[in-house]
Amino acid sequence: MPERQVTVKAEVGLHARPAATFVQTAAKATLEVTVAKAGGQPVNAKSILGVLSLDVRQGDTVVISAEGEGAEELLDRLADIASAP
């Protein structure tokens, strides 16, 4: 399963607007997509509650995984969102 490890740079972490943008992008895909804090349990990346429950803060590393056709492109887009300042 392809994955990306990304360090979150936004001051608010993966909360509020960055989380909403991340979830909306994941939800547009027909693929199964998960996100987890490094070493933690993955959650559905299409669930705003799941993503917010990770409590990802600035400087934390997340692992984003996707399975299926177009996974690499989707992971690149999600990694860009998660790593944006």
The pLDDT value given to residue 10? 93
The whole-angstrom separation of Cα 62 and Cα 51 is: 11
Instruction: Please compute Rg for the chain using Cα positions.
Output: 11
**Domain extents for the chain?**
3-83
Q: Which positions ≥6 away from 65 have C-beta within 8 Å?
A: 1, 2, 3, 33, 34, 35, 42, 75
- pLDDT beyond 90 at 1: no
The reported pTM is 0.94
- pLDDT beyond 90 at 6: yes
The pLDDT value given to residue 16? 87
The pLDDT value given to residue 78? 97
Tokens of 63: 């692992």
Q: Which CATH architecture has domain 3-83?
A: 2-Layer Sandwich (3.30)
Question: Using the 8-state DSSP alphabet, how is residue 68 labeled?
Answer: S
Q: Is 31 a catalytic residue?
A: no
- pLDDT beyond 90 at 69: yes
pLDDT tens digits, one per residue of 20-64: 999 999 999 999 999 999 889 999 999 999 999 999 999 999 999
Catalytic residue among 15, 36, 51, 62: 15
Report the Cα 75 to chain-centroid distance in Å. 8
